[in-house]
Amino acid sequence: PIEQLKQEIIDMGQIPELILVAQDLTRYGIDLYGKPSLVKLLQELSSMEQVEKIRLLYCYPDMIDNELIEEIRNNDKIIKYIDMPLQHADRSTLKRMNRRGDGESYLKIIEKLKTIKGMVIRSTFIAGFPGESEQAFENLVEFIKKAKFFNAGFFAYSREEGTPSYSFDGQIPEKVKKQRVKKL
């Protein structure tokens, strides 16, 4: 809860940079308040004198809305940086990954974020997810060219027992995954 987080900050003293990190930070508050509450959290934390700057890590694109973008733009304590782990841009591959959105919707969000002066956008991508066709991979390559990220990390899909994708058809050979990561 916000009040508990504020108390932790008070207990810590002066904080040059407060890093808010979660698997998906944009979903903050849904479990506690029944609705997304990241903007409210940012407003509350940035009102505290001992917090100098706030950095946001791991914001999924489907919950980045105009209200959050405006808060980032107008709140001087929020570092103009966002880590948005997109993983892919091809619609069919994203669907297999159980992700919302597609390259087109992601580019619209990126375009809005880039209207913020000094905004830095970082992302991560997975190559070789089961069923990723050559065309799906090329869609990802073209998306990355258009997005022009400040920084991005690229990883080969790692098949892990116990995950849904472990048993998916269309497992990609290691050699192909490595070639795709190198190209990205």
Mean residue pLDDT of the chain comes to 97
Q: What is the pLDDT of residue 168?
A: 97
Predicted TM-score (pTM) of the model is: 0.91
Confidence class for position 12, pLDDT limits 50, 70, 90: very high
On whether the CB atoms of residues 173 and 159 are closer than 8 A, the answer is no
Position 90 scores a pLDDT of 97
pLDDT mean over 161-174: 96
Burial 155-182 (b: 16+ CB within 10 A, else e): ebbebeeeeebeeeeebbeeeebeebbe
State the Cα–Cα distance between residues 123 and 142, nearest whole angstrom: 15
Query: Tell me: the pLDDT tens digits for 69-106?
Result: 999 999 999 999 999 999 999 999 999 999 989 999 99
pLDDT of residue 54: 98
Number of helical (H) and strand (E) elements in the chain, helices listed first:
8, 5
So what's the pLDDT on residue 39?
Answer: 98
Kindly state the average pLDDT of the residues 105-116. Answer: 97
User: Residues 113-124: what's their mean pLDDT?
Assistant: 97
> What pLDDT was estimated at residue 73?
98
- Alpha-helix runs per DSSP H in 65-163: 66-74, 91-96, 103-113, 134-147
pLDDT in tens, 25-75: 999 999 999 999 999 999 999 999 999 999 999 999 999 999 999 999 999
pLDDT band at 20 (very low <50, low <70, confident <90, very high): very high
pLDDT of residue 140: 98
